[in-house]
Amino acid sequence: MKSGRSTVLAALLTIGAVMVSACSDSATQLVSAADPSAGVDCGGKGELRAGGSTAQAKAIEQFGYAYSRACPGQTVDYVADGSAGGVDDFIANELDLAGSEAALDPAKTQPERAAERCGSPAWNLPVVFSPIAVTYRIAGVNNLSLDGPTLAKIFNGSIGSWDNPVIKALNAGVALPALPIHVVYRGDRASSTASFQRYLDSASDGAWFAGGGDMFNGGIGEAATGNSGVATALQSTEGSITYSEWSFAVGKQLPIAQVVASAGSAPVAISAESVGKTIAGAKFVSDINANNDLVLDTTSLYRPVDHGAYPIVSATYQIVCSKYPDAATGTAVKAFLQAAIGPGQDGLDQYGSIPLPASFSSRVLAAANAIS
Residue 1 lies in a domain: no
Please tell me which residue, 28 or 58, carries the higher pLDDT value: 58
Do 140 and 268 fall within a single domain? Answer: yes
pLDDT at 256: 97
Do 106 and 152 fall within a single domain? Answer: no
pLDDT above 80 for 15: no
Do 321 and 196 fall within a single domain? Answer: no
pLDDT above 50 for 10: no
pLDDT above 60 for 68: yes
- Render the burial of 70-81: b for 16+ CB within 10 Å, e for the rest: bbeebbbbbbbb
pLDDT at 110: 97
Strand 11-15 versus strand 75-80 pairing type: antiparallel
Round to whole Å and give the CA distance between 181 and 135: 13
Residue 66 lies in a domain: yes
Averaged pLDDT for residues 353-365:
94
Do 320 and 270 fall within a single domain? Answer: no
Each residue's pLDDT tens digit, 267-299: 999 999 999 999 999 999 876 556 899 999 999
pLDDT above 90 for 210: no
Strand partners, 56: none
pLDDT at 372: 96
Each residue's pLDDT tens digit, 89-101: 999 999 999 999 9
Strand 145-147 versus strand 97-100 pairing type: unpaired
Residue 121 lies in a domain: yes
pLDDT at 23: 36
Cβ-proximal residues to 205 (8 Å cutoff; 6+ apart), any chain: 148, 149
pLDDT at 290: 61
Averaged pLDDT for residues 58-72:
95
pLDDT above 80 for 7: no
Taking CA atoms, 74 is separated from 31, 78, 118, 328, 333, in Å, by 17, 13, 22, 12, 11
Each residue's pLDDT tens digit, 226-250: 888 999 999 999 999 999 989 889 8
Cβ-proximal residues to 274 (8 Å cutoff; 6+ apart), any chain: 268, 308, 309, 310
Count of domains in the chain? 2
pLDDT at 18: 32
Q: Is 65 within 8 Å of 23 (Cβ atoms)?
A: yes
pLDDT above 70 for 31: no
Averaged pLDDT for residues 159-172:
97
Note the maximum CA span of the chain.
65
Do 39 and 174 fall within a single domain? Answer: no
Q: Tell me the pLDDT band of 6, cut-offs 50, 70 and 90.
A: very low
Averaged pLDDT for residues 147-156:
97
The mean predicted confidence, pLDDT, of the chain is 88
Domain extent, residue 142, equals 131-275
pLDDT at 227: 87
* Amino acid (one-letter) located at 362: S
Please tell me which residue, 28 or 87, carries the higher pLDDT value: 87
Cβ-proximal residues to 266 (8 Å cutoff; 6+ apart), any chain: 260, 307, 308
Do 336 and 356 fall within a single domain? Answer: yes
Do 111 and 174 fall within a single domain? Answer: no
Residue 126 lies in a domain: yes
Give the alpha-carbon dihedral of 156, 158, 164, 168, to 10 degrees: -50
pLDDT above 90 for 178: yes
Q: Is 221 within 8 Å of 243 (Cβ atoms)?
A: no
Do 69 and 139 fall within a single domain? Answer: no
Q: Tell me the pLDDT band of 4, cut-offs 50, 70 and 90.
A: very low
Residue 307 lies in a domain: no
Q: What SS3 string covers the chain?
A: CCHHHCCCCCEEEEECHHHHHHCCHHHHCCCCCCCCCCCCCCCCCCEEEEEECCCCHHHHHHHHHHHHHHCCCCEEEEEECCHHHHHHHHHCCCCCEEEECCCCCHHHCHHHHHHHHHCCCEEEEEEEEEEEEEEEECCCCCCCEEEHHHHHHHHCCCCCECCCHHHHHHCCCCCCCCCECEEEEECCCCHHHHHHHHHHHHHCCCCCCCCCCCCCCCCCCEEECHHHHHHHHHHHCCCEEEEEEHHHHHHCCCCECEEECCCCCCEECCCHHHHHHHHHCCEEHHHHCCCCCCCEECHHHHCCCCCCCCCCEEEEEEEEECCCCCHHHHHHHHHHHHHHHCHHHCCHHHHCCCCCCHHHHHHHHHHHHCCC
Do 116 and 184 fall within a single domain? Answer: no
Each residue's pLDDT tens digit, 250-261: 888 999 999 999
Do 146 and 67 fall within a single domain? Answer: no
Do 151 and 195 fall within a single domain? Answer: yes
Each residue's pLDDT tens digit, 300-354: 999 998 999 999 999 999 999 999 999 999 999 999 999 999 999 998 988 889 9
Task: Indicate the pTM of the whole model.
Answer: 0.85
